[in-house]
Amino acid sequence: MGRMHTNRIYLFVALLLLTIFAVAACAPNPRAQLISPDMVPEVKGQAFVPPTPTPLPDINNLSEEEIYAGLPADVVALLPGDPAHGEQLATSAGCVGCHRLDDSNTVVAPSWGGVAHQAVTRVAGESPALYFYQSITEPNAYVVNGYNSGIMPQNYNDILSPQDIVDIVSYMLTQRGQ
């Protein structure tokens, strides 16, 4: 009885090993080169030419309609806004206490240096002006990765007039960096 039991164990182990080898034989070769957009098969005698990268959208290449798309009609009526007044408001309302125009202090809030370019792609499908407007009126609607929500004052929509907000948005749209 013991020998028959031992033979069954050997048979089971042999079938298990055979199954493992059969499955391993069907698996793709991990050493084979995979074809992807970043990898091109080698052709002898020809130099590798990487694909042309797709440039990021640039605010300088957007039309006025694209820059201001999606803003509420009552806000559009206040455009284009006064960037100089917006700069004064950004100082008096305390915005520049956290948002610098350089990278000297980005611990609390993202820099405004070049922020107009960043706003083009910050939220997919949103225009730069809409992103800025919403960031002021609803500061937690979108929070930049690496920063905490609830830090920015939640009452700018109450203490600033609609024209003041448009002026600040206009000022932010001038921050295009180099």
Tokens 């948005």, located at residue: 169
Chain centre to alpha carbon of residue 2: 67
pLDDT of residue 22: 74
pLDDT of residue 139: 92
pLDDT in tens, 145-178: 888 899 899 999 899 999 999 999 999 999 886 5
**Strand, coil or helix: what is 145?**
coil
Instruction: Indicate if the pLDDT at residue 126 is higher than 60.
Output: yes
CA dihedral sign, ordered 139, 151, 109, 90 = positive
Q: Which of 99, 171, 169 is nearest to 133 (CA)?
A: 169
Do you know the residue count of the chain?
178
Name the pTM for this structure.
0.67
Q: For the residues of 48-87, what is the DSSP string, one character each? A: --PPPPPPPP-GGGS-HHHHHTT--HHHHTTTT--HHHHH
Q: Determine the Cα–Cα distance for residues 66 and 70; give it in Å rounded to an integer.
A: 9
The structure tokens listed for 52 are 């042309």
pLDDT of residue 110: 87
Residue 110 · residue 121 · CB < 8 Å: no
pLDDT of residue 69: 94
Q: Determine the Cα–Cα distance for residues 129 and 123; give it in Å rounded to an integer.
A: 11
**What is the share, in percent, of the chain residues with pLDDT greater than 90?**
34
The structure tokens listed for 61 are 């290449």
**Between residues 62 and 29, the one the model is more confident about:** 62
Q: Which CATH number fits domain 59-173: 3.30.70.100, 2.40.110.10, 1.10.760.10, 1.10.4030.10?
A: 1.10.760.10
Indicate the average pLDDT of the chain: 83
- Side chain identity at residue 7, one-letter code: N
pLDDT in tens, 83-114: 999 999 999 988 888 888 877 766 788 888 88
